[in-house]
């Protein structure tokens, strides 16, 4: 069952297959994301969540299937992958800020290189974004001076600096000290309420329940079940979804 008509999907994957060597990691994934929709991607470690996010953002080639962003088939080998990648913002589990650059330069880099924004305009915008994530006073610091939660907030500021159409968030709180998880999730909650389109792999079930419009359960490289948080998290249809969720209670 497809809940989102294809005409309203901003991002849509159909029949996506991906192997590493002889290991089939994605085995015919169908997934769609509407504009302003927040979708939580859940599933056991190794189920293919990160691979799926990387494939959707064209950070990894797919073996079969199609991926559409708007009306464009971005899985077509003839597309300009760099210009497509610039339409996504991505944040990963590990703090992947550039260690040799200041916080400000981390946030401005993509705007200056990809969007060719003049330095001054890029810095003004970056400072506004840092203010929004509560870190304007850290602009001159290097990332190693910041806590993990602050680094992830900078990574989010960097990801949204280029006005991406879709945010791909891959377990962005998993590596954080538990005390720092809340500040990062609060920021994602704000982005969601501001209308961002977000696909987020997460093990934060309470957050998925409260913030996601839809929850997708990935099981061994396939979407086994999807629906509203109330459906998937509170009343899962599939035994494997129930088994997975039982680990969180």
Please give the residue ranges that form the binding site for Mg ion (CB under 5 A).
49-50
Least separation in angstroms between residue 43's CB and ligand ADP is 5
Least separation in angstroms between residue 235's CB and Mg ion is 26
> Rounded to whole angstroms, how far apart are CA atoms 191 and 171?
16
- Reported as half-sphere exposure (CB side, CA atoms, 13 A), residue 197 has a value of 19
Strands 166-170 and 64-69: unpaired
Least separation in angstroms between residue 162's CB and ligand ADP is 24
Q: Which residues contact 117 (CB under 8 A, 6 or more apart)?
A: 108, 111, 125
The SS3 of residue 212 is coil
Of 117 and 168, the one with the shorter C-beta distance to Mg ion is 168
Which of 11, 31, 37, 50 touches ligand ADP (CB under 6 A)?
Answer: 50
Would you say 136 and 130 are in contact if contact means Cβ atoms under 8 Å apart? yes
**Binds 46, which of Mg ion, ligand ADP, none (CB < 5 to 8 A, cut-off by type)?**
ligand ADP
> Rounded to whole angstroms, how far apart are CA atoms 162 and 125?
10
User: Which one, of 58, 146, 52, lies nearest residue 107 by Cα?
Assistant: 146
Of 53 and 110, the one with the shorter C-beta distance to Mg ion is 53
- In the numeric block, the tokens 């849509």 are attached to 12
Asked whether position 47 contacts ligand ADP by CB under 6 A, the answer is yes
Stretch that binds ligand ADP, among 47-55, 76-84, 135-143, 187-195 (CB under 6 A): 47-55
Stretch that binds ligand ADP, among 18-26, 105-113, 136-144, 173-181 (CB under 6 A): 18-26
* Site of interaction with ligand ADP (CB under 6 A): 20, 23, 25, 43, 45-51
């Amino acid at each position: 069952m497809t809940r989102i008509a294809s005409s309203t999907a901003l991002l849509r994957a159909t029949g996506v297959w991906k192997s590493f060597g002889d290991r089939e990691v994605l085995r015919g994934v169908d997934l769609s994301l509407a504009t302003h929709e927040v979708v939580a991607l859940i599933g056991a470690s190794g189920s293919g969540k990160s691979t799926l996010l990387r494939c959707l953002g064209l950070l990894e080639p797919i073996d079969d299937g199609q991926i559409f962003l708007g009306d464009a088939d971005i899985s077509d080998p003839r597309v300009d992958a760099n210009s497509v990648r610039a339409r996504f913002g991505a944040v990963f589990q590990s703090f992947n800020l550039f260690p040799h650059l200041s916080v400000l330069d981390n946030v401005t880099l993509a705007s200056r290189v990809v969007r060719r924004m003049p330095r001054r305009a890029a810095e003004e915008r970056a400072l506004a974004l840092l203010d929004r994530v509560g870190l304007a006073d850290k602009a001159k610091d290097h990332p190693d001076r910041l806590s993990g939660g602050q680094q992830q907030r900078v990574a989010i500021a960097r990801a949204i600096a280029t006005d991406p159409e879709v945010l791909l968030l891959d377990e962005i709180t998993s590596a954080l000290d538990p005390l720092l998880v809340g500040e990062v999730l609060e920021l994602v909650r704000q982005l969601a309420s501001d209308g961002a389109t977000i696909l987020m792999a997460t093990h934060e079930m309470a957050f998925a329940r409260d913030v996601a419009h839809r929850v997708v359960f990935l099981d061994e490289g396939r979407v086994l079940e999807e629906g509203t948080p109330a459906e998937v998290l509170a009343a899962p249809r599939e035994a494997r979804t129930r088994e997975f969720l039982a680990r969180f209670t």
